Structure 1
Amino acid sequence: MLGNDVLLCFIFYSTLLISKMYVIAIITGQVRLRKKAFANPEDAVRHGGVQFCRADPDVDRCRRAHRNDMENIFPFLFLGAVYSMLSPSYGIARLHFLVYFLGRVLHSVAYLLALKPPTRSIAYIVAQVPCLSMAIQILLEVAYYA
C-alpha cells in the first residue's frame, strides 16, 4: 500500500498540516504565558494568581486559528485519503495537496498576524478549491458504483 506514490505524497502533506496545527497550539501556549491569560484557575495560580484566569484577545485569536484548522484540515484528511485510493495522476494529486497546504499555511499566518483583508479569505478559498475538486472526483467515481 505504501508503494502508492500518491498516497505517500498525501501522507507527507498531511503530516506537515498536522505539524502546523501543533505549532499553532504551541504558539497559543506561549501567548498565554506571555500575556498571563490562562483558561484554568489552577494554571493561573501556578503562574501568579487566580486573577490571571482570564480571556485575552491575542490568545483568543490563536485559539480561533487552531479551531479553524481543525474545522478544515480534518475534512481534507478524509477527502485526500479517499482521493488517493482512486489512482489519480501523481502530478495532479500533488498539486491538490500542495495548493491546500500552502493555502492553509497562508491562512494561519494571516490569522495570527491579523493581516489586512482579504488575505485570510483568499487563502481560505485557495485551500478549498482542491478540496472541492477532490470531493467532486470522489463523488463521480462512487456514483458509478452506487
Structure 2
Amino acid sequence: MLDNEVFASFVFYGTLLVLKMYIIAIITGQVRLRKKAFANPEDAMRHGGVQYCREDPYVERCRRAHRNDMENIFPFLFLGAVYSMTEPSLNVAQVHFLVFFLGRIVHSVAYLCALKAPTRSVAYVIAQVPCFSMLVQILFAVASP
C-alpha cells in the first residue's frame, strides 16, 4: 500500500496528526497535575485530597482543544484514506494533506495559547477547505460510472 505515493503521503500526515493529538492529551494531563484539577475523586485523593476534584479553566481549554481535534482529525483520516484511493494527482493530494495539517497545528496553538480572535476560527476554516474538497472529489469518483 505504501507504494502508492498519495497514500504514503496521507499516512505521513495522518500519523503526524495522531502524534499531535497525543501531545495535546499529554499537555492536558500535565496541566491537570500543575493546576491540581482532577476529574475523578480517586485521582484527587492521590494528589492531595478530594478538594482537588474540580474544574480549572485552563484544563477545560486543553480538553476542548483535544475534543476539537477528535471532531476534525478523525473525519480527515477517513476522507484522506478514501481520497487516496481515487488516484488524485500527487501534488494536489500533498497540498490537501499539508494545508489540513498546518491548519490543525495553528488551531491547536491558537487554542492552547488563547491567541486573539479570529486566529483559531481562520485556522479551522482553512483546515476544512481540503476536507470539503476531498469529500466532493470522493463523491464524484463514486458517482461517475
Aligned residue pair count: 145
Partner of 2:143: 143
Between the aligned partners of 1:137 and 1:116, the Cα distance in structure 2 is 34
1:120: Cα distance to partner?
0.2
State the SS of the aligned residue for 2:129: helix
Between the aligned residues of both structures, percent identity stands at 74
Residue type matched to 1:23 in 2?
I
Partner of 2:52: 52
Partner of 1:8: 8
Consecutive unaligned residues of structure 2, counting only runs of 5 or more, are: none
Residue type matched to 1:64 in 2?
R
Partner of 2:34: 34
Between the aligned partners of 1:5 and 1:63, the Cα distance in structure 2 is 35
Partner of 1:103: 103
TM-score, normalising length: structure 1: 0.98
Q: Which runs of 4+ in 1 moved over 2 A?
A: none
Residue type matched to 1:103 in 2?
G
Between the aligned partners of 1:119 and 1:136, the Cα distance in structure 2 is 26
1:64: Cα distance to partner?
0.2
Per-residue CA shift, 1:58-79, capped at 9, x if unaligned? 0000000000000000000000
1:144: Cα distance to partner?
1.2
